Amino acid sequence: MKNILFIVYYFPPMGGSGVQRPLKFVKYLREFGWNPIVLCPEPGAYHTFDDSLKKELDQLGIEVHRVSGGTPLHAAGNKKIRLPQVIETLLRKISTFFWLPDNKKGWIKPGLEKAKELIREKNIELVFSTAAPYSNLIMAAELKKSTGIKVVMDLRDEWLESHLIKYPSRWHKRKMAAIEKNTLEHSDVITVINGAYKDSFSERFPDKEIRVIEQGFDPEDFEGVSVKSQNEKFRFLYSGLFYGERTPDLFLRAVSEILNEKPELRDQIEWWFQGGLSEPVKDQINKLRLTDVVNDLGYLEHNEAVKNLNTADVLWLMVGHLNQADKVTVGKMFEYFGTGKPILALAPEGETLKLLKQYGAFYRAHPGSLSEIKQVLKGVIDDHISNRLPKPDQNFISRYNRKNITRELASIFNVISS
């Protein structure tokens, strides 16, 4: 079995969607001839910790090496911290102004020292580095330059044109473009999560091999979990966070208007949120008088979150009116696929809608149109009452099994290492 060094930042005991991709790769890679050795920083102050993911990691018996984080968030120690949204937005702006490519640069130096030690002592044949943060990729590039080891750079988002980055000036974007170029040019293969990102990176790096390794769901997470809804009320569920321009404002207004028109529905329908609602969203729920039909579960450990996905009748998804939103595919959508439940998506034309059309069991409204959201929501409710909610394509669902996706990744490693 060959040893591969995994360079990650978001890893258990940290929680959230960014942890899932590297954790599940690590879980299944040994079945395909690769033994992952993980290098990551100490968690530092973070908004989400997940004991269920930590337990899953511990049971795998994977070798994990942690180094000093060296970032502003590590000064506070390893503890949970949740900042008001206005403070988070301000800190994000400050971070983009002063730290490029991101504020995780502090872990590059200690990470590099440890990585070189592991490469020498563990007979490492390949490096896999996943972003975000992009600092992980800079570390991989430095390893390539100093040791000549083969490197795969994985991106869960765009980089230069990321919908999550708002550049303070043209200089900042030019600087980021230079960092991206000087980093990715040292990759042997670049992996991305969808075809739109592949096209985007291919325009900037036409000489690089770029492969799509999609997101997915772990079927073992669903074992022993009932997929039948036994709810007294028709239950919609949203899993995840709202941030930036991705807000549920129009959706909540649509719900409010429908309930005002048909008040009898208040006793028949409920909306669940898991992940944690911000104070502005809670305030809007109060103003719209929706507290009696909304259940805010807060952040739940991953195993509990999966159980709730399976108890819902309809799962709703939101891409939102973001820059480059047509290229975005959010990780939670693939766990939605794993349930086989109908999906109500607020999404523009683009990658998300392409996948939903193949899935089959979906409803879609444009995220910026109140009238459209309201009309589609009424249609979902009518279909439920008439017992005609759509069913998904099971063959499509099987494509996104994390084990199968890991097999695809291992095949890339095999070619590079040979």
Q: Which of 11-20, 72-81, 160-169, 181-190 shows the lowest per-residue confidence on average (mean pLDDT)?
A: 72-81
DSSP characters over 217-231: B-GGGGTT---S---
Pick the CATH number of 2-216+401-417 from 3.40.50.300, 2.60.40.10, 3.40.50.2000, 3.40.50.720: 3.40.50.2000
Q: Are residues 246 and 278 in contact, defined by beta-carbon separation less than 8 angstroms?
A: no
pTM of the model: 0.89
Tens-digit pLDDT profile for residues 31-86: 999 999 999 999 876 778 888 999 999 999 999 999 987 776 666 556 565 656 65
Tokens of 219: 């079927």
Q: What angle do CA 46, 49, 54 make, to 5 degrees?
A: 135
The residue length of the chain stands at: 418
User: Residue 99, SS3?
Assistant: coil
Alpha carbon dihedral 326, 331, 333, 339, in 10-degree steps, equals: 170
> Which pLDDT band, with edges at 50, 70 and 90, does 97 fall under?
low
Tens-digit pLDDT profile for residues 150-171: 999 999 999 998 888 888 999 9
pLDDT at 387 over 80: yes
Pick the CATH number of 220-398 from 3.90.1150.10, 3.40.50.2000, 2.60.40.420, 3.20.20.450: 3.40.50.2000
Q: Which of the two residues, 43 and 210, has the higher pLDDT score?
A: 210
Q: Where are the domains of the chain?
A: 2-216+401-417, 220-398
Which residue, 417, 297, 317, 303, is CA-closest to 367? Answer: 317
13 upstream amide cis, omega within 30 of 0: yes
Q: Which of 47-56, 107-116, 308-317, 358-367 shows the lowest per-residue confidence on average (mean pLDDT)?
A: 47-56
Tens-digit pLDDT profile for residues 227-257: 555 678 999 999 988 876 678 899 999 999 9
The one-character DSSP state at 291 is T
pLDDT at 391 over 60: yes
Average pLDDT, rounded, for the chain: 90
In the chain, % of residues over pLDDT 70: 91
Q: Which of the two residues, 168 and 93, has the higher pLDDT score?
A: 168
